[in-house]
Chain A
Amino acid sequence: MTAYLVRRVLLMIPTLLFITIISFFVMRLAPGDPVQLQTELNPRVSAEARERLIAYHGLDKPIHVAYFIWLKNVLTFDFGRSSAPDGRPVIDKIAERLPITLFINVISFVLVLGLAIPIGILSATRQGSWLDRVTTLYVFVGYAMPSFWLALLLMILFGVRLGWLPISGLHSLDAYRMGAVEYWLDFGKHLVLPVFIGVFGGLAGLSRYARSSMLEVVRQDYVRVARAKGLPEKRVIYRHALRNALLPLLTIFGLSVPGFIGGSVIIESIFAIPGLGQLFYQGVLSRDYNLVMASLVIGAVLTMVGNVLADLSYAVANPQIRLGAKGGD
């Protein structure tokens, strides 16, 4: 197990390096460099200021030299300054916004996993039942539904027509005057719609995998053996089948992490939530070079960490890997 853990963590290093290479070269090879972007709107920028900017972005150096300078800074969490008027270090701005995005995504993750597993079990063990049909229908609707469209419709229905839920931000304007209970209740209400949208899309994919993974396991010989020796059905399903059905689910879950993180761009800009997604989107609109590059790297690193966590829990759950036996691949 330790060996596996060490190997898995070491494997992160080349991936990490590649993430920075792709991020850097995608940005650098794209036509329109940051200096041009920053100066094209302002014709009065002096030649001197222009040169200073060119040097600041490393554009006066060969691309591989510029990359290593940038990489060295990135490794010390120095992503440069934002080109927004506040000119703050990009990493500070991101550090401020990241917890909100992580918080919303973790809630969505927990809900998706918590719902997908029972849905998968029920629709697999009662194949063809109304519940199974509803699940199948939902899966396809969830795949095809544009999340922003659903968000708009729900905002109008629950926010405007019915007035049950707030539709923007994380707190009401008068939240600072509220008592503790009221404050958190208000916060929770603000989270309902954004989390629902995040869960709606993610759950569709995962419950489908949970169902097919369960179906596959239920047909295995060891499940038949468990039944044949007279174990109650509950025990067969929950102790013998479920454990094995969960394994592939963990991998799929790891793969869905980028979808969640990417989804926060849309969710946060619709619901005006001040998270990383919104910050990134604003950075894209204002062509804030350093901010966009930093968000890209951090978004990818978050996904990588999510994948590694999924792999590790897979290893914990699967004795073939845990004990270092062959054939686990």
Chain B
Amino acid sequence: MATETSAVGVAREAEAAPASLLRDFLRRLAKNRLAVASAVVILLAAVAAIFAPALSPYDPNALDLAAQLSPPSAAHPLGTDDLGRDVLSRMLYGARISLSVGFVAVGIAIAIGIVLGGIAGYYGGRLDQFIMWLVDVMLVFPTIFLILAVIAFVGPGLFKIMAIIGLTGWMGTTRLVRAEFLALREREFVAAVRAQGARDARIIFRHILPNAVAPVLVSATFGVAGAILTESALSFLGLGVPPPNATWGSLLSDGKAMIEVAWWLTVFPGLAIFVVSLAYNLLGEGIRDALDPRLRA
């Protein structure tokens, strides 16, 4: 079955004219069943987060002392916690925090990576050496040590966590963007716009950057998975996003003391973290393959 599809795929690819790069890319991506399934999972998680108020069967913070620690049932599909709060509702609301931490943190990291990597790759020389050295030194710190050390003194908080994860995760993107810029700056179109008198900032952001978007997109996709995992690890250690904002990580952490009497409190939030970060990793992989089929090993 698998060989058949790919043989047909190769034949089709050979006869199709490259009408549009984007359409070409999307067609290749659509043929990767794992990537499509991952995109669906990611979309579902996003919808669940956005429409949490409408989808939640209960108020996530409503106590129901008559239904403490009830196992999954028709009334509470994922059970309730020790205060009788509905786990499904709490996870739907938790998705909002977990996913937004992932997105904002990656957004920060990518922004820094583009600026520093762009500068390093475009200007080269001393500046490049310095930025790359900074990257190397930052990579020497065990990330979780750095994050925890900062949290110890800054204190936890939703936006602080987003910022800290972002500020400690820009090194990979910086390297990537630099490598792209190094190659692109020698190309004719760059020489052409420069000859027209365009300023550096314009060349960097309007002309070179759009050509370097693809690998950045891939690394951002992987980055979201990483940021969600990091946030959940911090919450697990009790140093993540503070209450009343529940995240998947803090739900898991709250449930761990009761794991023997109420497995659903640990299993479902953990599963959510696992499935969503798996989906982001697989989609990232799919995007990379679709962007450059030669890379597929």
Evaluate contact between B233 and A146: CB separation under 8 angstroms. Answer: yes
Residues in A with CB closer than 8 Å to B252 are 146, 148-149
Chain A contacts to B: CB under 8 angstroms: 14-15, 18-19, 22-23, 26-27, 30-32, 37, 140-141, 143-149, 152-153, 156, 160, 211-212, 215, 255, 258-259, 261-263, 265-266, 269, 280-281, 283-285, 287, 289, 292-293, 295-296, 299-300, 303-304, 307
Known contacts A144-B225, A148-B233: A32-B153 contact under CB 8 Å: yes
CB distance from B175 to the nearest CB of A (A): 11
Complex-state Cα separation, A147 to B232, whole angstroms: 10
Name the interface residues of B248-287: CB closer than 8 Å to any CB of A: 249, 252, 256, 259-260, 263, 266-267, 270, 273-275, 277-278, 281-282, 285
- A300 and B140 CA atoms in complex are apart in Å by 5
Specify the chain A residue showing the minimal Cβ separation from B255.
A152
Selected interface stretch from B103-111, B117-125, B143-151, B193-201: B143-151
Assess whether B260 is in contact with A140, with CB atoms less than 8 Å apart.
no
Contact A296 to B145, CB < 8 A, known contacts A19-B137, A31-B154: yes
Chain B contacts for A265, CB-based, 8 A: 144-145, 148, 237
B116-161 residues at the A interface, CB under 8 angstroms: 133-134, 136-146, 148-155
Binding site for A on B (CB under 8 A): 133-134, 136-146, 148-155, 225, 229, 232-233, 236-239, 249, 252, 256, 259-260, 263, 266-267, 270, 273-275, 277-278, 281-282, 285, 297
Q: For the complex, what is the distance from the CA of A307 to the CA of B136, rounded to whole Å?
A: 11
Q: Which residues of B contact A262 (CB under 8 A)?
A: 142-145
- A303/B142 in contact, CB under 8 A: yes
Q: Across the interface, do A296 and B146 meet the contact criterion of CB distance under 8 Å?
A: yes
- Interchain CB contact under 8 A, B140 and A152: no
- Which of chain B's residues have a CB closer than 8 A to the CB of A283? 152
Q: Is the CB of A255 within 8 A of B152?
A: no
The distance from the CB of A303 to the nearest CB of chain B, in whole angstroms, is 5
For the complex formed, measure the closest distance between the CB of B280 and the CB atoms of chain A, giving whole angstroms: 8
A sample of 24 inter-chain contacts (CB < 8 A) reads A15-B136, A15-B140, A31-B154, A32-B155, A146-B249, A149-B266, A149-B273, A156-B260, A215-B297, A259-B142, A259-B143, A265-B145, A280-B145, A281-B237, A283-B152, A284-B239, A285-B238, A292-B148, A292-B149, A293-B149, A296-B145, A299-B141, A300-B141, A303-B142
In Å, the complex CA distance between A292 and B249 comes to: 24
Determine the distance from Cα of A265 to Cα of B239 in the docked complex, in whole angstroms. Answer: 13
Q: Which are the 9 A-B pairs with shortest beta-carbon distances?
A: A262-B142, A144-B278, A149-B270, A262-B144, A284-B152, A258-B142, A30-B153, A144-B277, A18-B137
**Which single member of A31, A258, A266, A284 contacts B151 (CB below 8 Å)?**
A284
